[in-house]
Structure 1
Amino acid sequence: MNNSPDTTNPGRRRFLQSTALGAAALPAAMLGGTASAKDAATGAIKLPPSILALQPVASQVVPITDDERRARLARAQELMGRLGMDAIYLDGGTTLDYYTGMRWWTSERLMGMVLPRSGDPVYVTPAFERSRALEQIRFGHDVRTWQENESPYAVVARVMRERHAGAGVLGIEEKVPFFRATGLAEAMPQAKLVPATPVTAGCRAIKSPAELALMQVACNATLALYKAIWQGLEPGMTQQHIGAWVEAGYARMGLRGDASINVGEFTAQPHGSREPQVIREGTPVMLDDGCYVEGYMSDLTRTFTLGRASDKMKRVFDIVRKAQRAALAAAHPGATMESVDAAARKVITDAGYGPGYTYFSHRLGHGIGMDMHEWYYLVQGNTRRIEAGMTFSDEPGIYIPGEFGVRLEDDMHVAADGARWFTPQSPSIEQPFG
């Protein structure tokens, strides 16, 4: 979920930093049996049969091809021409990965790519990193280096002059740090620096069939893990139990992932709490987050009880479920993004949990793909129109302070004839997986 406005920072999610462990690397206490409160007291967390039954997903994964990436570069250059940009600059990060397949993360040292309006990319790298960069470069062969006592911004400026664009328009990708953009501006005082988002989002917001297939694998894996967790739950378990199961379950599937776990009254806080929490009969449990499959993310939330739920919990769950369906029905090509939020919010308000953000305290959803949060947002005030190929989270919620909250989140993709979820909607708070 994580409805912060940052489109590129996964925040509390640690996918790119977490390590996927093989089963052989897990502690012996995590390789069999079932968990109990006694296990937690001794520090030994065992895995239930449902987690042990999870299988690797590698056979389902088809990586993005170089041909597709070449088409992405060409599409970017087409958009640059329409928008009057002479080039765009990308730092290491997800967008560089999207266009080139390079996995290079930004630091204080400039390593990035200049993509001119026509022709091959130009890469700028510290001289001592040249050989490592060449290991990953697959499109173009122009690699410019800079020594530690030299300005990398002067190198980028030189590339622009060579393209007769020293006084032209350079698009800056939004993940580029402020100090980097400032350095580029100082090195090119005659140039105009503009946001490259219309180009980068113009490409990345529309998913190809290959991208949708990878997102489908990620969503299926997260749903399978959540179901395995629910099947293994016992009273007295803690967040630490579930956290260990999440790590082990994704590892058994060969993936990297994470989850936030919140129980009882803490489910009334959309992002929960770090306070210690214990699962008991009849208390709601909220699982949120997802995993990372060949560069693509899932983001799912399930709210359920262990045993019987109260009538109020059931009623609130049903309202949220109807709101989620209303949003799916409203998400079609040509619809404004705010109208999808409004469709879900109307259901919740009409049921007595309004007005506005009183109980449904965040936007309906966000774009999703290589970043868990990316363009665009399903929120009031966003009049941008939905296009076929876009993907979003659909995550309405009702949060009652001091009592409990319910959020249901499935990712959806928009086809020419309307939106579809990647995963089936949760049917009930007591039987969340049917």
Structure 2
Amino acid sequence: MGTDALYPPERLAAARRATAAAGLSALLLTPGSDLRYLTGYDARVSERLTCLVLPVEGEPTLIVPTLERPAAEASPAPDTGVRIVDHADGTDPYPLVTAALGGPVAAVGLADRMWAEQVLALRAALPGARQRLAGDVLRELRVRKSPAEVAALAEAGAAIDAVHRRMGEWLRPGRTEAEVAADIAAAIRAAGHVSVDFVIVAAGPNGASPHHSTSDRPIGAGEPVVVDIGGTMPSGYRSDCTRTYVTGGPAPAEFSDYYDVLWEAQRAAVAAVRPGVSAEAVDAVARDIITVAGYGPAFLHRTGHGIGLDGHEEPYVVAGNARPLEAGMAFSIEPGIYLAGRHGARIEDIVVCTTDGGQRLNTTPTELIAL
């Protein structure tokens, strides 16, 4: 997939219009997903300043450390129309920011996760400028994925599906969660990811902790095992998929009963996705089924989160989010049931809202998988 499709120059123009509409003079973006979204540059996070200066009027400028200029020039950034300016070690880079702005500014939008030392340095360099969050401007641009972005997410989904299909190679009684996780991490890279974002292998009682990572606890025969894995592709777009397994014997009867409830809830929530349906309504579909079956308090988290260049982004599929879904929005559908001290289960697919429904980007079976 060409980087010009994923990182088109038109994004800078759209971001300028949104910046002006928000009453800001410029965006100042340090390394992170917003910078990559606009320029395609996957910049290093460090104490050396990297900053995209995007004024409403004037030339967009990417300020980089001199030793990182080759990487910036090799990225898609030059093709988006940004000018690259570098600063040598030992020099103050902040006058380059003020110069790129071209004059006094009243208000600027800063990258949401900019380091505090950079926020304060920009406050000193631009004492007359109010500081706001750039995410308030860029969120609306990023929340609806382009066809190229959907294709990148589908590629990521296929790659993580390939890892889940190999789970029988690694998941068996007697092996520790950590041993299984090490094999999974290697497979995530082998499947085409450039980095492993997370590997959760949660067996037996550990499965009742949604954000358990791994441990040296051996997996027992017949224990349910929650496997939640994800990584970043060369495109920058993310994968995230959860399946629940049982290995070495039948699962406890109690577990099988509530897994059937969970499977129904996840399937119904996926089926509820379509334009105009609110995010909280999709959450309610899954939550109501689980609640009616008597497991409501055991569903501990939201039904889903958006995904793209960040693993968690808008839209959030959660009670209180009345925003209607729109075509191009991509998010997880991942209800779970967790019984403390015993076991738990989660089923997660990435789903894209289409013009008339929803499309699962993960295609492996969602039934309980016996190995």
Q: TM-score, normalised by structure 1?
A: 0.78
1:87 maps onto 2:87 in alignment: no
Shift of 1:289: 1.7
Q: Is the 8 A contact 1:314 1:428 kept in 2?
A: no
> What residue number does 1:297 align with?
238
Q: From 201, 220, 227, give the equivalent of 1:261.
A: 201
> Structure 1 67/394 Cα, relative in aligned 2: closer, same or farther at 3 Å?
closer
DSSP 3-state at the match of 2:62: strand
Q: Which residue identity is paired with 1:301? A: T
Contiguous gaps of at least 5 residues in structure 2: none
> Structure 1 128/266 Cα, relative in aligned 2: closer, same or farther at 3 Å?
closer
Q: Is the 8 A contact 1:170 1:191 kept in 2?
A: yes
> Structure 1 128/300 Cα, relative in aligned 2: closer, same or farther at 3 Å?
closer
> Structure 1 260/87 Cα, relative in aligned 2: closer, same or farther at 3 Å?
same
Q: Is the 8 A contact 2:29 2:35 kept in 1?
A: yes
> What residue number does 2:304 align with?
365
CA distance in 2, matches of 1:122, 1:216: 32
DSSP 3-state at the match of 2:8: helix
DSSP 3-state at the match of 2:301: coil
Shift of 1:111: 1.0
> Structure 1 95/427 Cα, relative in aligned 2: closer, same or farther at 3 Å?
closer
> What residue number does 1:322 align with?
264
Shift of 1:383: 2.5
> Structure 1 232/119 Cα, relative in aligned 2: closer, same or farther at 3 Å?
same
> What residue number does 1:394 align with?
333
> What residue number does 1:220 align with?
158
Q: From 98, 113, 134, give the equivalent of 2:73.
A: 134
Shift of 1:71: 2.1
Q: Is the 8 A contact 2:161 2:363 kept in 1?
A: no
* Structure ranking higher on relative contact order (CA contacts 8 Å, 6+ apart): 1
Q: Which residue identity is paired with 2:302? A: R
Which has the larger displacement, 410-419 or 126-135? 126-135
CA distance in 1, matches of 2:122, 2:64: 15
Which has the larger displacement, 341-350 or 238-247? 238-247
CA distance in 2, matches of 1:387, 1:66: 21
Q: Which residue identity is paired with 1:236? A: G
CA distance in 2, matches of 1:218, 1:345: 28
Shift of 1:130: 4.1
Shift of 1:197: 1.1
Q: Is the 8 A contact 1:64 1:211 kept in 2?
A: no
> What residue number does 1:52 align with?
none
Q: Is the 8 A contact 2:307 2:330 kept in 1?
A: yes
Contiguous gaps of at least 5 residues in structure 1: 1-61
Q: From 74, 94, 103, give the equivalent of 1:153.
A: 94
Q: Is the 8 A contact 2:305 2:314 kept in 1?
A: yes
Shift of 1:208: 1.2
> What residue number does 1:3 align with?
none
DSSP 3-state at the match of 2:225: strand
| Residues 61-83 of structure 1: CA deviation (Å, up to 9, x unaligned) | x2432684212222212222322
Which has the larger displacement, 192-201 or 260-269? 192-201
> Structure 1 153/71 Cα, relative in aligned 2: closer, same or farther at 3 Å?
same
> Structure 1 253/132 Cα, relative in aligned 2: closer, same or farther at 3 Å?
closer
Shift of 1:177: 1.6
> What residue number does 1:27 align with?
none
DSSP 3-state at the match of 2:222: coil
DSSP 3-state at the match of 1:328: helix
| Residues 138-186 of structure 1: CA deviation (Å, up to 9, x unaligned) | 13363334454543233212322x1x4x132211121212221222122
CA distance in 1, matches of 2:164, 2:270: 22
Q: Is the 8 A contact 1:215 1:298 kept in 2?
A: yes
> What residue number does 2:48 align with?
109
DSSP 3-state at the match of 2:359: strand
Shift of 1:399: 0.3
1:312 maps onto 2:243 in alignment: no
> Structure 1 181/232 Cα, relative in aligned 2: closer, same or farther at 3 Å?
closer
CA distance in 2, matches of 1:406, 1:66: 38
Q: Which residue identity is paired with 1:201? A: R
> What residue number does 1:281 align with?
221
> What residue number does 2:125 align with?
187
Q: Which residue identity is paired with 2:8? A: R
Aligned-residue identity in percent: 35
Q: TM-score, normalised by structure 2?
A: 0.90
1:338 maps onto 2:280 in alignment: yes
CA distance in 1, matches of 2:281, 2:6: 36
Shift of 1:252: 3.4
Q: Is the 8 A contact 2:200 2:214 kept in 1?
A: no
CA distance in 1, matches of 2:130, 2:17: 19
Q: Is the 8 A contact 1:308 1:430 kept in 2?
A: no
> Structure 1 81/408 Cα, relative in aligned 2: closer, same or farther at 3 Å?
same
> Structure 1 149/424 Cα, relative in aligned 2: closer, same or farther at 3 Å?
closer
Q: Is the 8 A contact 1:86 1:170 kept in 2?
A: yes
Which 4+ runs in 1 deviate beyond 6 A?
none
| Residues 196-241 of structure 1: CA deviation (Å, up to 9, x unaligned) | 1133222222111111112112112212211211355433222243
